[in-house]
């Protein structure tokens, strides 16, 4: 009997992404179909998985055995040139200019040759009764220089076409049109390549890791996105897909089955205002592909989560897309992201040195969301131990300025205008822990504090 599990080795006959090792076998794929593995015994080791989407957003896909590939690419030559690397594009346009100059230079040389201009007497050998088609073109080099001057509209005034040969006049007209077409195509391609929003994705960040922890009493998958530029991404929205092998009930093997992860599309939470870094949340519920995965199952899973951020560039109104991915080994169970936004005196400060950092949260359940639901467990916020302190609040207190401690922390430093002796008043923090934490930061001696403006 063939069991089905995600960490299985795939048969080359059906897989398009499997390796070419001998002795491949189809092993368990139980969690692939959304069922957790309840069997006993040693858990299989996670197999190394090639990324479908790299961390920089490039798709790790190679196309082979395409019929009429060259003809299809040449049919859409503009898109081909835009997608081509800069060095190849410059080589193509340089070759196009050089070929056009050589072709029309050879054409002008042939016109001069058959007209007899090349047999004209040298300078000082007497006047010639034959009027040339092109003045001062006596060799192929002269014809090539005339071709370059005509197409680039340099016009030195030394070489020119005469009315003697209508064919030469027609060649000049055709070359001028061809030169304009090449110039327009080159300028349009360069402008489209420079203005395309693909490079805008270089300033959109995704966190190195994704985390799974409890938020509002439910297990959630979270990752962080950020914008490094001050210009906004208009109509920004996010989506995510889970990619993993899947075996259908009929036995059909799908090596790259894609399933959506709900990030709040129904209630509009997928549309974000990306001014400061934002944590994207996927609630692991009954419809989530991660519903039957716990901490132990996550260590053996073989899937990839592709995250996508789309929006319009404010400067050009062109749609851009930034992509990244997280393997199962890059998801940290029981972690949260460190805060990066701090309130200053007149503005908010974003500390990007903490963008990728996480910290472990004690008390995160190790079981799956399905097991939590079946056991009717409710995750309630328990009172912190005596030695614990909220990490976000601690960072907020450390980052505050001395001038803001009076208003934000709630410590009123008395002066001689109200009460003598310096009376310290505190707000109700809701727990003795915050009071003890604050008292540890205050000096033991009673000192009268004043602002710098009052000194």
pLDDT of residue 23: 37
Which helix (H) or strand (E) is 304 found in, with range?
A: strand 304-313
- Mean pLDDT over 377-389 rounds to 50
User: Residue 358 gets which letter from DSSP?
Assistant: E
Q: How confident is the model at residue 5 (pLDDT cuts 50, 70, 90)?
A: very low
Q: Is 378 exposed, middle or buried (0-12, 13-18, 19+ CB in 10 A)?
A: exposed
- Mean pLDDT over 267-275 rounds to 89
The C-alpha R_g of the chain, in whole angstroms, comes to 36
DSSP state letters, 250-303: TS-EEEEEEEEE-SSTTTTTTB--TTS-EEEEEE--TTSTTTT--HHHHTT---
Rounded to whole angstroms, what are the CA distances from 13 to 9, 20, 23, 28, 399?
12, 10, 12, 17, 58
pLDDT one-digit tens code per residue, 24-56: 433 344 444 444 444 444 445 556 678 888 888
Q: How confident is the model at residue 392 (pLDDT cuts 50, 70, 90)?
A: low
pLDDT above 80: residue 367: yes
State both tokens at 241: 């897909």
CA 106 from centre of chain: 49
Counts of helices then strands in the chain (DSSP H, E): 10, 15
Task: For the full predicted model, state whether its pTM sits above 0.75.
Answer: no
- Mean pLDDT over 183-191 rounds to 90
pLDDT of residue 72: 85
How far apart, in whole angstroms, are the C-alpha atoms of residue 49 and residue 43?
17
Strands 210-215 and 331-333, sheet pairing: parallel
pLDDT of residue 300: 86
pLDDT of residue 405: 53
pLDDT one-digit tens code per residue, 398-421: 555 544 555 544 444 444 443 333
pLDDT above 90: residue 251: no
User: Residue 127 gets which letter from DSSP?
Assistant: -
DSSP state letters, 219-261: EEEEEEEEE-SSS-EEEEEEEEEEEEEEE-TTS-EEEEEEEEE
Mean pLDDT, all residues of the chain: 75
Q: Which of 382 and 68 is assigned the larger pLDDT?
A: 68
pLDDT above 70: residue 69: yes
Q: Which of 256 and 155 is assigned the larger pLDDT?
A: 256
The CA angle 412-415-417, to the nearest 5 degrees, is 120
pLDDT of residue 157: 76
User: Residue 144 gets which letter from DSSP?
Assistant: H
Percent of the chain scoring above 70 in pLDDT:
70
Q: How confident is the model at residue 447 (pLDDT cuts 50, 70, 90)?
A: very low
Neighbours of 355 (CB within 10 A): 19
pLDDT one-digit tens code per residue, 289-301: 999 899 888 888 8
pLDDT one-digit tens code per residue, 307-319: 999 998 888 888 8
pLDDT one-digit tens code per residue, 132-183: 888 888 889 989 999 999 998 887 778 888 888 889 999 999 999 999 999 9
Query: Is the separation of the CB atoms in 147 and 105 below 8 Å?
Result: yes
pLDDT above 50: residue 438: no
- Mean pLDDT over 73-79 rounds to 84
pLDDT of residue 129: 60
Phi, psi of 374 (to 5 degrees): -70, -35
User: Residue 363 gets which letter from DSSP?
Assistant: T
Phi-psi category of residue 157: left, alpha or beta, with phi > 0 → left and psi -120 to 50 → alpha: left
How far apart, in whole angstroms, are the C-alpha atoms of residue 209 and residue 232?
24
pLDDT of residue 211: 94
């Amino acid at each position: 009997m063939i069991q089905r599990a995600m960490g299985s080795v795939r048969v080359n006959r059906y897989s398009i992404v499997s390796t070419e090792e001998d002795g491949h076998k189809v092993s368990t794929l139980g969690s692939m179909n959304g069922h957790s593995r309840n069997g006993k015994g040693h858990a299989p080791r996670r197999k190394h998985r090639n990324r479908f989407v790299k961390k920089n957003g490039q798709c790790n896909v190679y196309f082979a055995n395409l019929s009429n590939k060259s003809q299809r690419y040449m049919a859409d030559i503009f898109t081909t040139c835009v997608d081509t690397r800069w060095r190849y594009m410059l080589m193509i346009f340089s070759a196009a200019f050089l070929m056009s100059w050589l072709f029309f230079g050879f054409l002008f040389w042939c016109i001069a040759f058959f007209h007899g201009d090349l047999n004209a007497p040298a300078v000082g050998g007497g006047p010639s009764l034959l009027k040339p088609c092109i003045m001062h073109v006596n060799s192929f080099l002269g014809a090539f220089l005339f071709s370059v001057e005509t197409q680039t509209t340099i016009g030195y005034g030394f070489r020119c076409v005469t009315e003697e040969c209508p064919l030469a006049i027609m060649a000049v007209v055709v070359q001028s049109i061809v030169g304009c077409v090449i110039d327009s195509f080159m300028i349009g391609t360069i402008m489209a390549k420079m203005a395309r929003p693909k490079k805008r994705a270089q300033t959109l960040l995704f966190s190195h890791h994704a985390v799974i922890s409890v938020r509002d009493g439910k297990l959630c998958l979270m990752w962080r996105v950020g914008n490094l530029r001050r210009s906004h991404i208009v109509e920004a929205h996010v989506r995510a897909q889970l990619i993993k092998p899947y075996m259908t009930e009929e036995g059909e093997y799908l090596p790259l089955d894609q399933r959506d992860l709900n990030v709040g599309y129904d209630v509009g939470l997928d549309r974000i205002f990306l001014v400061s870094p934002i944590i994207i949340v996927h609630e692991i519920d009954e419809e989530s592909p991660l519903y039957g995965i716990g901490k132990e199952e996550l260590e053996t899973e073989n899937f990839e989560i592709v995250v996508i951020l789309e929006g319009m560039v404010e400067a050009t109104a062109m749609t851009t897309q930034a992509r990244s991915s997280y393997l199962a080994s890059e998801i940290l169970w029981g972690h949260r992201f460190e805060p990066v936004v701090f309130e200053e005196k007149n503005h908010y400060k974003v500390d990007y040195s903490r963008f990728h950092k996480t910290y472990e949260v004690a008390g995160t359940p190790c079981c799956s969301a399905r097991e939590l639901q079946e056991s009717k467990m409710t995750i309630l916020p328990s009172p912190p131990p005596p030695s614990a302190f909220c990490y976000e609040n601690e960072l907020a207190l450390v980052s505050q300025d001395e001038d803001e401690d009076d208003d934000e922390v709630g410590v009123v430093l008395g002066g001689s205008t109200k009460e003598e002796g310096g009376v310290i008043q505190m707000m109700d923090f809701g727990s003795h822990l915050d009071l003890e934490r604050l008292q540890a930061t205050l000096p033991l001696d009673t000192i009268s504090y004043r602002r710098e403006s009052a000194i």
